Amino acid sequence: MAGIDAVAFGKAFRELVLSQKSTVSVLSSISKRCGILPDSSSTKKAVLVEQITSQISAPSLINNHDYQSAPFRLLSIDMGLKNFSFCRLEIPSFPMNGNYKPVVKQWNKMNLNEYTGITDDRFIPTNYSGIVNKIISNLIFNPESLQTKPDLIIIERQRFRTGGHKNVQEHILKTNVLEFSLISALQTCTYLQPKKYNSKLQSVSPAAMAGYWVDYCKLRDPKIDQKSKDLRVDLVHEWLSRHLLGSPLESIISEPEFIIGDNFDLSETTDDLIHLKKYRSNSKRVYKMVKYLNTKNKTGEIIIDDSESSEKGDDMADSLLHGLAYVHYELNRLKLIEAVNNNERLDKF
C-alpha cells in the first residue's frame, strides 16, 4: 500500500460500487475483512464507502517496512492486571506469498503485580506508573533480551462496560487506567527519544477482531453456532493441538495461521502433553499448552505466571488473534486494491 494514489483509488472504488450496485451488506463484509469497524450510528452506503476509502488509502505499516534489513516484528498485547498477555510475531515476508506465515517468537501471560513486584493493588497513580515502567523496560524494550524491539505494537482497546453491566466495575476501570498509562508512556518515549523508541503504536478494536474471526470460522463451517469468545478459544486450541500434538484433539476449522518459531524446542511434545485430555475446558488446555511452550523456549524468555486463578487461555488466544488479524487485514487491503484495479466483483471479495 506504499505509494497508493488515494484520489485514484477512491474514484475507482466509488465507480465500481455504483456500477455493480454493491449493497450495504457487501460493503460491511469488505469493512470487516479489512479490519475497518463501521460507524454504528450509520449504515448508509455512502458512509461505508468513505470509511473504506479513507482506511485503505492510509499508509500501511507492514508494507512500508524495509525487508532488506530484517523481518517485520509485531507485538500484540491484551491488557489486564491479573491476566496480562502478549504475543510476539515475526512476518518474514510481506506480501506473504507462498507458504509464508507469521512466526510466533514469544507468547506469555502473567499477573503484573507479581511480575513487577508491585503487590500493592490500591488504586494509586504511582503504582500504575511503576507497573508501566516495568512493562516498557523489561518486556517491550528489554536490552538484555534476545528478542529485538518491535516495529509495531498493537494494544487491544478496553471497554468500559462488559457483560451487560450497567455500572463500570472497578477492575475494568483499573485496566483502562493501565491501558491509557501504557500508551501515554510509549508515546512519550517516542517523542523524547525517537531514534531509540521508534516502534509504531496502534490501539485496536476488540469488536473488529472478534467479528473477523467469527466470519473466518463460519466461512469454513457455516453450521458453527458458538459465542465469539468460545469460538476464538476453540480455534486457537485447534491450531496449538496441530502444532504440538501433530494432529487435532477435535478437528474444527483450518490449518494453523501461524508457525511456531525455531527458538522453541519441540522435538518431544506428544508424551509431555498427553495429560491434556483430562481437562474438559479448551480454555484451560490453551493455557497449559502455552505454558508448556514457554518451558521449551531456548532463548530463556519469561515463563508464564503459574497462579491457579489465571489458568484460562482466552487472554492468550486474543493476544495471538489480534496480531494475526492485523496481518490478515493488511493482506485483505492489498487484495481489495487489486480487485478494484482489475474491476473484479466486490461481492466475491
Please provide the DSSP assignment of 105-124 as one string: EEEEEE-HHHHHS----SS-
Instruction: Enumerate the domain spans of the chain.
Output: 6-61+329-348, 69-325
Q: What percent of the chain shows pLDDT beyond 70?
A: 83
Q: Is the pLDDT of residue 248 over 90?
A: no
CB 207 within 8 A of CB 37: yes
Element holding 217 (H helix, E strand): helix 206-220
CB 276 within 8 A of CB 288: yes
CB 248 within 8 A of CB 277: no
Q: Is the pLDDT of residue 76 over 80?
A: yes
Domain 69-325 = CATH 2.60.40.3120: no
Q: What is the mean pLDDT of the chain?
A: 84
Q: What is the mean pLDDT of residues 263-287?
A: 83
User: Which residue matches cell numbers 466483483?
Assistant: 345
Cα(224)–Cα(219) distance, integer angstroms: 9
> Around Cβ 187, how many Cβ atoms within 10 Å?
12
Q: What percent of the chain shows pLDDT beyond 90?
A: 43
DSSP secondary-structure letter at 277?
G
pLDDT per residue as tens digits for the range 317-341: 999 999 999 999 988 998 999 999 9
pLDDT per residue as tens digits for the range 140-186: 987 666 457 899 999 998 876 565 566 667 778 888 999 999 999 99
pTM score, two decimals?
A: 0.91
What is the model's pLDDT at position 327?
A: 92
